[in-house]
Amino acid sequence: MRVRSLAAVALAAALVLGGSVGANAESVLRLRMNGDINSVDPIATTNFTIRNSAYLIYDTLFALDANYQVQPQMAEGYTLSDDQLTYTITLRDGLRFHDGSPVTATDVVASLERWGKVDGLGKILFSKAASLTAADDKTVVLQMNEPWGQVLPALGKISSNVPFIMPARLAAQDPSDPVKEPIGSGPYKMVVDEWVPGSVAVYEKFADYVPRPEPASMAAGGKVANFDRVEIRYIPDSAQAVDALLNGEIDWIEDVGADLLPLFDGSDTAHIQVSPQAGNSLQLVVNHLNPPFDNPKIRQALQLALEQPPFMQAIFGEQTQLYQICAAVFFCGTPFESDINTDRILHRDVDQAKALLAEAGYDGTPVFLPHVTDIPFHDHAYSVLKPMLEEAGFKVDEQMTDWASVSTRRASKEPVDKGGWNVFFTGWGFVDQSNPMTNVYVAGQGLNGWFGWADSPELRDLRVKFAETTDPGEQKQLAEDMQRVAYDLVPFVPLGQASIAQGVASNLEGFIESPVPFFWNVKRKD
């Protein structure tokens, strides 16, 4: 007994004293994103976690700088013909893929074509283009049918779907067939052998990456990788993630829930970084294909059944500085902000909602709620949503699930009992929402559009007109018309606009303020 207990004490001492948490943590960057990395193809999905990880391993032809101006990234430069129809783009020297092969114009063409099949802006681009070809190994030629001012903004798109460049042999796959090999030309490369879906995704510095000479500026400029290794860890319990950050076990948390902000008080290992640009809105996306929301009146009853404050309060509590009530389809604090036709959204009226339901002949078809549990934002939102719907006369069928599953399920156009859906929460960011050309909810593209598949010839028409005009007054008017039509059509219900509070290890510096988290330029303080 005595010997055994001595051994036990010795072991305990060794455990406690032996090794700080992560002795070689200096050159490893450990990130905790909102979701899990369950796919390596950023074209097959718009999932933001996949997008964020894709920025580590892929690079883009053009990119937005901190002033939201489009800059060449993989491109050395470009020329535009006098008639505004021909773009000749030359690639930089020394670009290599992670499998050793050089990046050629053929790869760029193939990648852009694949992207163009699924991305909203990309589709418009290709509909106006006569051809996209590789003139030689380093030159890409884009021939337009008509002049279009959005060509570069499209190619420099910062958020889903980002026109990442991958080898032509992989880009040859149809976008709905996910690429399984993560081969890009970015500053890090993925170590597939160490990838454990549901747990961790591992990336290594890519020695052959040649950063641009300029300093980093949002998505543009020189991307210098300062770490040997990056790990994206999946920690579903947010409080645990914060504890891990405070304890030095991880370095960065994408979104610290408002409840947990007080935990950072007095800590010298980690602190909060508020990012307005990385903030999201809370949106309830509506599926127009399945009952009951295939009926426009029932969709408008939905608007009347909800209001923003309870959602925002449930998520942010007392941290009112992190959100604002905003019903503008193009976000508040942006050029196209407006309050046209927002009455039903901003004011909750249960009686009127019930009346509309009766008028529409609502037959009690339950609204299927996929209650996401691993993103606090969504988790709280579903809990608030259910009683609000029920009080307004809707029947609800709720099931617990996670974001990755919803991300997969929302692609289904089937009825609910065959794997389809009615509604789900999401949060499009600042950048895409503020631009009428990229806002998915005013696209009205029906079955060819983003999830929800709201169909509106009027919206399509308005967007075409918007693309054609350069007069700001006209653009503002068109934007307002878009909002008016959209809020009668109800492709979604806006439920609040938020900044994001990131958790950051205090020995890190070099973070870039951006709508999308970037990890080049970041390094440990000396």
Partner 1 sequence: MAMLQAAVREPGAARLLRYARRNPATTICCLILLALLLVAVFAPLIAGDPIKIDPARRLTPPDAEAIWGRDHLGRDVFARAIYGTRISMLVGFSVAFLTTVLGVTIGIYAGLSRIGSLVVMRLTDAMMAIPAILLAIAFASILNAGLVTVIIAITIPEVPRMVRLVRSVVLGVRNQPHVTAAVSIGTSGLPLVWRHILPNTMGPVLVQATYACASAIIASAVLSFLGVGISPEVPSWGGMMADARSVFRLHPMLMLYPGVLLSLLVLSVNILGDRLSDALDPRKSRRGAL
Partner 2 sequence: MLNYIAGRIASAIPILLLVAIFIFSLVNVTPGDPAVLIAGDNATPAQVEAIRERLRLDEPLPVRFFVWAGNAVRLDLGESIYSSQPVTRLIAQRLEPTFVLATVTLILTILIALPLGVVAAWKSNTWIDRSIMAFAVLGFSVPVFVIGYLLVYVFSVRLKWLPVQGYSPLADGVLGTLRSVALPSLALALVFAALIARVTRAALLEVLSENHIRTARAKGLSTWRILVIHALKNAGVPVITVIGIGFATLIGGVVVTESVFNIPGIGRLTVDAITRRDYPVVQGVILFFSVLLIVINILVDLSYALFDPRVKG
Pairwise CA distance, residues 218 & 65, whole Å: 5
Q: Shortest Cβ distance from residue 44 to partner 2 (Å)? A: 5
Can you tell me which of 402, 455, 480, 481 binds partner 2, judged by CB under 8 A? 402
Minimal distance in Å, beta carbon 398 to partner 1? Answer: 6
Q: Which is nearer to partner 2, 173 or 273 (CB)?
A: 173
Tokens representing 251 are: 């370095």
Select from 161, 118, 163 the least CA-distant residue to 140.
163
- For residue 490, CA distances in Å to 251, 327, 345, 427 come to 40, 12, 10, 16
Q: Which is nearer to partner 1, 93 or 268 (CB)?
A: 268
User: Taking contact as CB under 8 A, which single stretch among the options 53-61, 122-130, 203-211, 415-423 is the one that binds partner 2?
Assistant: 415-423
- Select 311 or 331, whichever has its Cβ closest to partner 1: 311
Q: Does 254 bind partner 2 (CB under 8 A)?
A: no
- Taking CB under 8 A as the binding criterion, the range among 212-220, 348-356, 405-413, 454-462 that sits at the site for partner 2 is 405-413
For the CB of residue 503, give the shortest distance to partner 2 in the complex, in Å. Answer: 13
Stretch that binds partner 2, among 12-20, 202-210, 333-341, 377-385 (CB under 8 A): 12-20
412 binds partner 2 (CB under 8 A): yes
Q: DSSP for 131-150?
A: EEEEEETTEEEEEESS--TT
Task: List the one residue out of 16, 208, 217 whose CA is nearest residue 102.
Answer: 208
Give the tokens for residue 138. Answer: 């380093």
In the bound complex, what is the minimum distance in angstroms from residue 204's beta carbon to partner 1? Answer: 33
Residues near 277 by beta carbon (within 8 Å), at least 6 away in sequence: 429, 430, 431, 513, 514, 515
Question: Phi then psi for 194, rounded to 5 degrees?
Answer: -100, 5
Q: Which residues pair with 107 in a beta bridge?
A: none
- Give the separation between CA 12 and CA 375, rounded to whole angstroms: 36
Residue 428, CA distances (Å) to 25, 129, 245, 279, 362 in order: 33, 28, 26, 9, 30
Q: Verify cis geometry, omega within 30 degrees of 0, for the bond prior to 292.
A: yes
Q: 316 or 450: whose CB is closer to partner 1?
A: 316
> Minimum Å distance from CB 202 to partner 1?
27
User: Under the criterion CB under 8 A, does residue 38 sit at the interface with partner 2?
Assistant: yes
Cβ–Cβ < 8 Å for 33, 42: no
Interface residue with partner 2, options 94, 197, 361, 387 (CB under 8 A) = 197
User: What is the C-alpha separation between 98 and 244, in angstroms, rounded?
Assistant: 32
Question: Does residue 290 bind partner 2 (CB under 8 A)?
Answer: no
* 445 binds partner 2, rule: CB under 8 A: no
* Residue 398, binding choice from partner 1, partner 2, none, Cβ under 5 to 8 Å by partner class: partner 1
Of 416, 465, 407, nearest in space to 436 by CA? 465
- Are 473 and 489 contacting, i.e. CB atoms less than 8 angstroms apart? no
- DSSP-derived pairing of the beta strands 229-233 and 200-205: antiparallel
Nearer to partner 1, 88 or 401 (CB): 401
Candidates 236, 291, 317, 510; binder of partner 2 (CB under 8 A) is: 236
Q: What share of the chain is helix, strand, coil (3-state, %, to 5)?
A: 35, 20, 45
Q: Give the Cβ contact number of residue 385 at 10 Å.
A: 27
455 binds partner 2 (CB under 8 A): no
39 binds, among partner 2, partner 1, none (CB under 5 to 8 A by kind): partner 2
- Using rule CB under 8 A, residue 405 touches partner 2: yes
The residue count for the chain: 526
Check binding of 267 to partner 2 (CB under 8 A).
Answer: no
Q: Are 479 and 270 in contact (CB under 8 A)?
A: no
Q: Given the complex with partner 2, which of 82 and 417 has the nearer CB atom?
A: 417
DSSP 419: T
C-alpha span between 372 and 382 (Å, rounded): 8
384 contact, one of partner 2, partner 1, none, CB 5-8 Å limit per kind: partner 1
Strands 75-80 and 86-91: antiparallel
Query: How far, in Å, CA of 372 to CA of 378, rounded?
Result: 6
Size of the site for partner 2 (CB under 8 A): 46
25 binds, among partner 2, partner 1, none (CB under 5 to 8 A by kind): none
Binding of partner 2 by 14 (CB under 8 A): yes
What DSSP state is assigned to residue 92?
P
Interface with partner 2, residue 147, by CB under 8 A: no
d(CA 194, CA 231): 10
Site for partner 1, rule CB under 8 A: 237-240, 242-243, 257, 259-260, 262-263, 309-311, 313-314, 317, 371, 373, 376, 380, 383-384, 386-387, 398-400
Closest CB to partner 2 among 267 and 341?
Answer: 267
Q: What residue 285 binds from partner 2, partner 1, none (CB within 5 to 8 A, per partner kind)?
A: none
Residue with tokens 């492709």: 491
In the complex, minimum distance from the CB of residue 197 to partner 1, in angstroms, rounded to a whole number: 19
Q: Which of residues 155-184 bind partner 2 (CB under 8 A)?
A: 175-178, 180
Binding of partner 2 by 2 (CB under 8 A): no
**Residues interacting with partner 2, by CB under 8 A?**
1, 4, 8, 14-16, 18-19, 21, 38-39, 44-45, 118, 175-178, 180, 196-200, 233, 235-237, 240-241, 243-244, 247, 249, 400-402, 404-405, 408, 411-412, 414, 417-419
